[in-house]
Structure formats: C-alpha cells, structure tokens
Amino acid sequence: MLFSFLNLAVAEVSDTTETRFIRFQYGFTGSFLHLQNWKGNALSSYSLGATSEYYSMEKMQSGEQLISVRQETSFTRFPDSVWVKAADRLEVQLISSKQSNQINHTWSILGSTALFTGFDYFTDPESGELYKKSNSTFLLPADLEAGYGIGVQLPANGFLNFSVATVRIRTEFGKNFEDEHPLIKLKRGFIAVDYGFAMQGYYFFTPVKESDVALNSRIFVNGFNRNEIQGELSIKVTYKIWKQLYFKGEMMLVYDPATSYGLQWKNELLLGVIFKSRKN
C-alpha cells in the first residue's frame, strides 16, 4: 500500500486586521489484495484512490470567513472484470460571519456532488452476459444548502456553525421515498427542496508533537423521522513515526436515508511516506 501526502499550513500569521489558518492536504493510495482458502479458491482485487482537502479561515475585526473543500475518489477492480467506483464526492463549504450585538451571525453555503459516472453491474441469467446500469454521475446525486445562523469560534483552529434557517436542494437517483416533499421529476431521478436546521463543525489540533488531528461534521434535520435526518462525522489522524514515515488513520460515520437506513462507516489505516512542503 502506497500513500503520498502534501501539507501546507500557515497558522496564526497576524497583522493589524486578520489572522489566517490554511491547511492543504492531498494523497494517493494503491493496494493489491489476494485471498485464498484451504480449498484453493482465490480472490484478488486492486484499488486506486485519491483524496484532497483544503481548509482556510480568516479572522478579521468584523468577523470570520471559512472555506472548506474536500474530495474523495476511489475505484476497485477484480481480475478479468471492470473498475467499480467505490467512493466519489466533491464537497465545498463557505461560511461568512459578522459580529453584531455580541452575536456571531453567519451565512453559509454547502454543496456536494459526485464527479464521475458510476454503474451497478448485473449478469443476465439467460445469456450470462454482463450489463451495467448507471447509479451516479455529476450533479446526480447532489446537495446544495444555504442557511442563516449563529457561529462559534472554537479554541485553536476550529469553527462551529448552527444554521437555524436552511434551504436544501437535492437531486437523487431513482424514485422518491417521501411523497410529501415537492418534487421535480428527472429522467433518472428527482429534485426535492427541504427546509430545516443544519450544523457544520470543523476542528484541527495537535495533541502531541509530530501529530495532526482533523475533525469534520455536518448534519441536516427537517423532521422527526428517519427520512428527514442526514449527517456525517469524520476523524483523521496523522502521526510521524520516523523521518518521512507516517501513520494515518481515518474513521467516517455517515447516515443518509437516500442510500440506506443503516449507519454506514469506513475505517482506514495507512502506513507510508509523506512529504511536507512547508509548515510554519
């Protein structure tokens, strides 16, 4: 398993008007897995993936501005088969806040979408031929949230935003699971508009020397049943072992009723070489 990493951070570089925190990371992974049981049955697979994250925060006398961009794409292939999309998402967050009467008013925009076309593969029971059916593409599925709320600046480098009035426009594949929502029918899916409460959280800190921890979370609620809640929590840890040899761990929990009513999770542990361009 291979992993490369770039980190650019400029933390608390002050002048008379502002303080900046910038964090940029990207990585590539590749793996080969071969399993064989005592009967001689074997299974092999290859995986390739790319991730990138950008986070910046400007703290000025009148308020703050936060920008967050996250991207994740990975594909898996079995020998004599096809590349299957395992993960694919681009997420962009903008939060602008202004201090007034001891309250940090915020305006936020959050957008997320798939980037590449993905397919489900099936075998025809009569002919035995493999055929595919599209399950995702650019802007399908996708979310766009816009909200007004209250922000809280966290110690070190972090921000917590509560959007008490949020409008969300979402596109989904297939048929709608909630007929009460206003819909616009598409050829392969639908568009729905929701109104509710949203929360986004970002926190970065260094618990020990040569380590880095990043926490990201978000949630959207527009009702009191399982179809009207959507959220995720991500925790990433990087620790330097020796010179350019690093350990990286990630845990992500996701609940999305459009995909599954069960809690989805991903755990990833990597050991590899990391290159850092600059850190002040």
43 burial type by CB count under 10 A (0-12 exposed, 13-18 middle, 19+ buried):
exposed
| Cβ contact 237:217 at 8 Å | no
State yes or no: cis peptide before 125, omega within 30 of 0: no
Both tokens assigned to 38: 């005592």
Range of the domain at 263: 2-33+43-122+140-279
| Cβ contact 96:106 at 8 Å | yes
Both tokens assigned to 107: 């305006």
pLDDT value, residue 155: 80
Q: Say which DSSP state 240 is in.
A: E
Please report whether residue 154 resides in a domain: yes
pLDDT value, residue 220: 95
> DSSP readout, 123-174?
E-TTT--EEEEEEEBTTBSEEEEEEEEEEEEETTEEEEEEEEEEEEEEEEES
Q: What is the pLDDT along the chain (280 residues), one digit of tens a residue?
A: 444 444 444 444 444 446 577 888 888 888 888 888 888 888 888 999 998 889 988 877 777 889 999 999 999 998 777 888 988 999 999 999 988 777 889 999 999 999 999 888 888 888 878 788 888 889 988 999 999 999 988 887 889 999 999 999 989 877 665 555 557 888 778 888 989 999 999 999 889 988 889 999 999 999 888 989 999 999 999 898 988 788 889 999 999 887 789 999 988 888 877 766 554 4
Please report whether residue 169 resides in a domain: yes
Total structural domains within the chain: 1
Both tokens assigned to 220: 């959207």
**pTM as predicted:** 0.83
Please report whether residue 134 resides in a domain: no
Please report whether residue 157 resides in a domain: yes
> Which residues have CB under 8 Å from 26's CB, separation 6+?
5, 6, 50, 51, 52, 53
Could you tell me how far CA 261 lies from the centroid of its own chain? 19
Query: What CATH number does the domain containing 95 carry?
Result: 2.40.160
Alpha-carbon torsion, ordered 252, 258, 263, 264, to 10 deg: -40
Please report whether residue 132 resides in a domain: no
Which of 248, 278, 251, 266 has the alpha carbon at shortest distance from 3?
248
Please report whether residue 131 resides in a domain: no
Please report whether residue 127 resides in a domain: no
Please give the C-alpha separations between residue 276 and each of 52, 185, 243, 272, in angstroms, as whole numbers. 14, 47, 11, 13
pLDDT value, residue 3: 46
pLDDT value, residue 67: 93
pLDDT value, residue 13: 46
Q: Please give the Cα distance from 150 to 124 (Å, whole number).
A: 54
Q: What residues does 137 pair with on adjacent strands?
A: 140
Both tokens assigned to 145: 């949230």
Q: What residues does 249 pair with on adjacent strands?
A: 237, 269
> By three-state DSSP, how is residue 29 classified?
strand
Please report whether residue 129 resides in a domain: no
Altogether, the residues listed in the chain come to a count of 280
pLDDT digits over 191-236, tens only? 889 899 999 999 998 899 888 899 999 999 998 889 899 999 999 9
